[in-house]
Structure 1
Amino acid sequence: MDEAACIFCEIAADGSAGHRVFEDATAVAFLDARPLFPGHVLVVPRRHAETLTDLSAEEVGPFFARVQRIAGAVERGMGATGSFVAANNRVSQSVPHFHVHVVPRNRKDGLRGFFWPRGRYASDEEAAEVAARVRAALTAGPGDAGPVP
């Protein structure tokens, strides 16, 4: 997607309406136009990046420090007992600009854990095979950010 056509880039550049709650050189946070609950905030990197893997290693820490700060503010500001913090990466990403949802949560608020059905691995062998595939992808593959410290 062209950065010029990105609604989140427009909001970050003050070119489009958005109820901002935070902004600095790293990130912009604003109310979701279609919230799960009042106080549902989207945190976006100011620089256009379509997915988490498009952020540089140097950008990830400062960006998620802002997400952490916003999560605390949402909980305090909305009188919530907790929050749900999540991001889609391509699949189900309604706007192709990386964004993190921060949703205030309270017990019996109507949401049930994750929003999709969960299952189990058929066997320990299957789980071991899946784990091996992910480990192998960590050492060789596109988007490899290098070894984990």
Structure 2
Amino acid sequence: MARVSPFERYAPDLDAYHERARTGPCFVCGIVARDPDFLGHHVIYEDDGAIAFLNGWPTQYGYALVAPKEHREQATGDFTAEEYLDLQRVVHRVAEAVREEVGAERVYILSLGSNEGNAHVHWHVVPLPPGTPYDEQQFAAVMLETAGALDIPEEENASLAARIGSRMEGA
């Protein structure tokens, strides 16, 4: 994989990740509750209905997640049209703040999860760095299995979250 980031990549323990996703507590609810087991996900934005935070295992620098604070599992069916559009406004604001902060050439936005694991609906906001070769874009850039995770120091993640949050305040 091309090095478009100054941070080293590592292969996380995917078996342990999937086991926790399928049998552990809801990670989004844990982040909302500020459970110490979920401190690696730095919050970048929060309002009464939504929360946005950095991915704890980012494949790209600035990779963020946006979720409703209330536990909901369906990307559309658990929302009124107004609630859904309000949440998508947050997704848009996060994506623009991330894009501007990290200088992404493109931002991928997708909702992933499963009723069998990571059931709390959330949207992935994944910035693609300039110069990423075509065969390392799209799903290859998003998936841990293909991209690996960036080893970003804790202090840098905290600083990045604060900078993205500041951009959202100005939006």
Structure-1-length-normalised TM-score? 0.66
The residue type paired with residue 74 of structure 2 is T
Q: Which AA in structure 1 matches 2:110?
A: A
Equivalent position of 1:67 in the other structure: 91
Rg: which structure is higher?
1
Deviation of residue 26 (structure 1)? 1.7
1:94 deviation in Å? 4.8
Normalised TM-score (structure 2): 0.58
The reply to whether residue 13 of structure 1 matches residue 33 of structure 2 is: yes
Report % sequence identity: 33
Rounded Cα–Cα distance in structure 1 between residues aligned with 2:98 and 2:90: 12
1:63-111 deviations in Å (ceiling 9; x for gaps): 00000000000001112122111112537x8511101000111343243
Count of aligned pairs: 111
Specify which of 102, 107, 112 is matched with residue 125 of structure 2.
Answer: 102
- Is there any run of 5+ residues in structure 2 with no aligned partner, and where? 1-24, 141-171
Choose from 41, 52, 67 the match for 1:44. 67
Distance of 2:50 and 2:64 partners within structure 1: 12
Unaligned stretches of 5+ in structure 1?
116-149
Give the strand-richer structure, 1 or 2.
Answer: 2
Which structure: greater helix fraction?
2
Q: For the Cα contact (< 8 Å) 2:113–2:120, is it kept in 1? A: no
Range with bigger deviation, 26-35 or 51-60:
51-60
Question: Moved runs in structure 1, 4+ residues, more than 4 A?
Answer: none
Flag the structure with more relative contact order, 1 or 2, with Cα contacts below 8 A and sequence separation at least 6.
2
